[in-house]
Amino acid sequence: MRAFGFLALLPAVLGNPLNARTTACNNSPDLCSKSYGEITHLGAHDSAFVRDSNSGVSLAGDQYYDTPTQLDAGVRLVSAQVHKSNSEWRLCHSKCDLMDAGTLSDWLKDVKKWLDDNPNDVVTILLVNSDGASASDLDAQFKKADIVDYAYKPTSNSAPKSWPTLQSMIDDKKRLVVFVASLGSNTDAPYLLDEFSFVWENPYDVTSPTKFSCDPQRPKEVSGQASTALASNRLPLMNHFLYSTDLSMFDVEFPNASYVATTNAASGGTGNLGSTATKCKKEWGGRQPTFILVDFFNRGPAIETVDNLNNVSNPIGRKSLSTSDTPQSSSGSTTGNVFKDLLDLANSAKGGASPSMGNWIWVGGNWGSLFGGGVSF
Ligand SMILES: *[C@@H]1O[C@H](CO)[C@@H](O)[C@H](O)[C@H]1NC(C)=O
Ligand SMILES: *[C@@H]1O[C@H](CO)[C@@H](O)[C@H](O)[C@H]1NC(C)=O
- Tens-place pLDDT, residues 254-272: 889 999 999 999 999 999 9
Query: What separation in angstroms does the CA of 176 have from each of 29, 148, 152, 253, 309?
Result: 19, 9, 6, 32, 22
Q: Give the residue-averaged pLDDT of 115-131.
A: 97
CA of 259 to the centre of ligand 1 (A): 6
Query: What are the φ and ψ backbone dihedral angles of 268, each rounded to 5 degrees?
Result: 85, 125
**Percent of the chain whose pLDDT exceeds 90:** 70
Contact 31, 42 (CB under 8 A): no
Partners of 200 in the β-ladder: 236
Atom of ligand 2 nearest to the CA of 40: 13
Q: Does 269 contact ligand 1 (Cβ within 6 A)?
A: no
**Architecture of the domain made up of 29-245+258-325:** Alpha-Beta Barrel (3.20)
Atom of ligand 2 nearest to the CA of 30: 14
Q: Does 209 contact ligand 1 (Cβ within 6 A)?
A: yes
Query: pLDDT tens digit string along 134-157?
Result: 999 999 999 999 999 999 999 999
Q: Give the residue-averaged pLDDT of 116-131.
A: 97
Contact 194, 157 (CB under 8 A): yes
Spatial separation of the C-alpha atoms in residues 270 and 267, rounded to whole Å: 9
CA of 185 to the centre of ligand 1 (A): 41
Contact 12, 19 (CB under 8 A): no
Spatial separation of the C-alpha atoms in residues 222 and 228, rounded to whole Å: 6
Q: 123 falls in which pLDDT band (50, 70, 90)?
A: very high
Cβ count within 10 A of residue 357: 19
Q: Does 246 contact ligand 1 (Cβ within 6 A)?
A: yes
Pocket test for ligand 1, best of 240, 254, 259 (most atoms within 8 A of CB): 259
**Percent of the chain whose pLDDT exceeds 70:** 77
E strands, the chain, are 41-44, 77-85, 88-92, 100-103, 123-129, 176-181, 192-194, 199-201, 235-239, 243-244, 254-255, 291-294
What is the reported pTM?
0.85
CA of 187 to the centre of ligand 1 (A): 45
CA of 266 to the centre of ligand 2 (A): 17
What sign does the dihedral 38-42-45-46 (CA atoms) show? negative
**Higher confidence at residue 143 or residue 360?**
143
CA of 347 to the centre of ligand 2 (A): 55
- The residue contributing the CA closest to ligand 1 atom 14 is 244
